[in-house]
Structure 1
């Protein structure tokens, strides 16, 4: 039996996490109709006897006493956490799992990372240790946060470094939500680049998600649902915002986007929560998809899109689902996988799909997907027998692909435009412990990461394909 802990930081991280826990409970309820506390539930939930004053874990005759999420919730504003504790999922969390402050981070990475990171360091370590102590065999930490604001980017990455310090042998998978180019936080390029350095140094895997891609997917779902292209959202009664869940009455502007990210988490954790003929261990993701430590940014794709919505659409051929997984329309970041180089790829399939279907489709797609010459067999596959509620099958593809270079170059350009003029820099430099050299180091780290991907792209040339591998393997980015 292995368990994982979800760490939610900031408004975005906590709202995405709330959607995940709600949908996960729905999935378990659809399978575990007898209400027995089993191994599947134990992977992300504790069974607590509420009659015990010490709050210790207890399982009486296999029956569920009181489910508690294996989660740590952190925010430097009270609003979202207070809503969660007063909302439909209030019984899933308790005050011992929360850390909050009152004033927020003011969209400033330095305030979140340095000020609050120092003030609350011991409290955060205590929360993380307590969550780990409730696990018999802790396998993975999932960290959820955004990149554009102050708490998510700053305190979120401070938590990431604490996880590495306190639990160096436990896998750290980060789901990071990146701002769109039209983000209304003027300092988001600073926050994102400063956070990027921390993700590159301290995460085992990062699943980048772009706000603009989420909006694009919602528009596609709208068109599928109603036959016409509507605005950047979905109808109130659509499963993307409600799904018949207990949260349907508390709709918020970003619920639809958060729900897509929650579905990403449902798919990546399905093999640890349910049985399957070829379950994928979470540790295997980093082991198989990350050939070089720094190049651990994995492009997520979800298919079919209608599995995210409560719409009646004829099921496409199974083979189409595999093709769509490598289409720009299904990716959670805007990039072109097929025009870039694959280092490795994982297909995590749910539902009534057979191993023969997997093998056949990999063979069919192989010639159209350019893999590095030294890892032509770089596929990892997982089969989970339990599909999303109300659907026959779904798939999450995770691709370690050099296409992320374009996203990072755009980010670097946005950062540089501000930094050249030293715009808004004083807000950061007034924070105790923050120095201008930290900006330069973060920019240098991002540039080095871009160059590492560029060297691999060059390796598509037969004459140069071996040199970049050595260059990255030895840690040089020049």
Structure 2
């Protein structure tokens, strides 16, 4: 089994990352009833025996001692990271793998990329190397950051270039959150443009997520729930969590948006954590979906969306879910895929799905879209609910150019 390391940079990156770890823990707890440290857990978590002086890792197959996330947390302000360390997930993160400052980057790409990037270069490299040394077979780095802030866009892209420099053979998958046109940070468009070049040069895959698209999805879920506030009433098995992990009676405005991105990461990594009839390795994402090195911006799409807020709506058939996944209303960027060309597409399903049903829908999708190459994947089990089926798509589609203008 391979391992992956998650690098969270900036306020947005750490909030989304914290949400991802909370969902991953609850998903593994739902599947792993015996409390054993299995291969699925080892892909993103270490099992540390604190009774040993060196805090050595336990072997796969034993009882769970103390789980530590394979993560590096970086922020040039202390607020978000301190909030995580005081929250319910504080024991999951290794305190030696945190890097913070006090002054922040002032929403300036150059301050994050050049000033802090140079000042903390050695410290960042040492933490990345330490995280890699705890892996038996390092497969991938997941980098989570925003494109509008100074730390996320500036220092985040500097970390990306360091990953390429220090680990050139390890896959680098970036989840980048783009600001909306109504963003209140006046420098966010400039930060995004400057960071975009770094993503094009140094990443293997980029999963762009647009804030305005997340707002539209949250509003759509609100309409589905007949005017109820998304996530205002949470169940124990809910897929909606608070900003610092675990459950909360109410949500902050950005919690529902961050939750969508965290669920995207949870589903993409499911093939690395669980077995499936047509499992797709993380390395296969770049191998199958990127025809040329710089054409690596993959448009993510999720369906059904209402499961993110546990709206009481009848379960949809797989055929309808496939149709929804190819529509612009379920994409995480605001672009119409049917007006453009699909260079490649990965169709991934979680849950109890027959391969024959999957192939039938793939053939139907090829007639409805300009699809040149596809890669199906089936991963089990479904997230938290064994009766639920979830479909998500990563497509290398030409409307990504709309995001770059």
TM-score, length-normalised on structure 2? Answer: 0.96
1:5-404 map, 5 Å:
5-59=5-59, 62-226=62-226, 228=227, 234-238=230-234, 239=238, 241-242=240-241, 246-248=246-248, 251-371=251-371, 376=372, 378-390=373-385, 392-404=388-400
Post-superposition Cα deviations, 1:346-401, rounded to whole Å, max 9, x if no partner, equal: 01110011211111001111112113xxxx3x101110111111351101100100
Q: Deviations over 1:124-182 (max 9, x none)?
A: 00000000000000000000000001000000000000000000000000000000000
TM-superposition CA deviations, 1:309-361 (whole Å, max 9, x none) = 22221111110111111111100000000110010000111001121111100
Please list every run of 5 or more consecutive structure 1 residues that lacks an aligned counterpart in the other structure.
Answer: 410-478
Structure 1 residue 240, shift from structure 2 partner = 5.9
Mapped to 1, the partners of 2:348 and 2:50 lie a distance apart of 36
Segments of structure 2 that go 5 or more residues without pairing to the other structure are: none
- Kindly tell me: are residues 61 and 408 of structure 1, through their superposed partners in 2, closer, same or farther at Cα, counting changes over 3 Å? closer
Name the structure where helix makes up a greater proportion of residues: 1
The offset of 1:235, in angstroms, is 4.1
What SS does structure 1 have at the residue aligned with 2:225? helix
User: How far apart, CA to CA, are the structure 2 residues paired with 1:355 and 1:316?
Assistant: 18
| 1:202-228 deviation line (CA, Å, top 9, x unaligned) | 0000000000000111111111122x4
Q: Does 1:408 align with 2:404?
A: yes
Q: Deviations over 1:253-302 (max 9, x none)?
A: 31111000000001100011111111100000000000011110000000
Q: CA RMSD in A?
A: 1.5
In 1, Cα distance between the equivalents of 2:319 and 2:240? 28
Alpha-carbon distance in structure 2 between the residues aligned to 1:269 and 1:195? 25
Check whether the contact 2:207–2:299 (CA below 8 A) recurs between aligned residues: yes
Distance in 2 of aligned mates of 1:388 and 1:96: 31
How many Å separate the matches in 2 of 1:133 and 1:270?
23
Count of equivalent residues: 399
Mapped contact 1:49–1:59 kept (Cα < 8 A): no
**Alpha-carbon distance, 1:60 to partner:** 8.6
In 2, Cα distance between the equivalents of 1:61 and 1:267? Answer: 24
State which drifts further: 115-124 or 378-387.
378-387
Task: State the SS of the aligned residue for 2:329.
Answer: helix
1:90 is paired with a residue of what secondary structure? coil
Measure, in 2, the Cα distance between the counterparts of 1:92 and 1:383: 29
Does the Cα contact within 8 Å between 2:289 and 2:396 map onto a contact in 1?
yes
- Write out per-residue CA displacement over residues 92-147 of structure 1, whole angstroms, 9 at most, x where no aligned residue: 00211100001000000000000000000000000000000000000000000000
Task: Give the conservation status (yes or no) of the 8 Å contact 1:236–1:242.
Answer: no
CA displacement at 1:248 relative to structure 2? 2.2
Structure 1 counterpart SS, 2:368: coil
- Give TM-score scaled by structure 1 length: 0.81
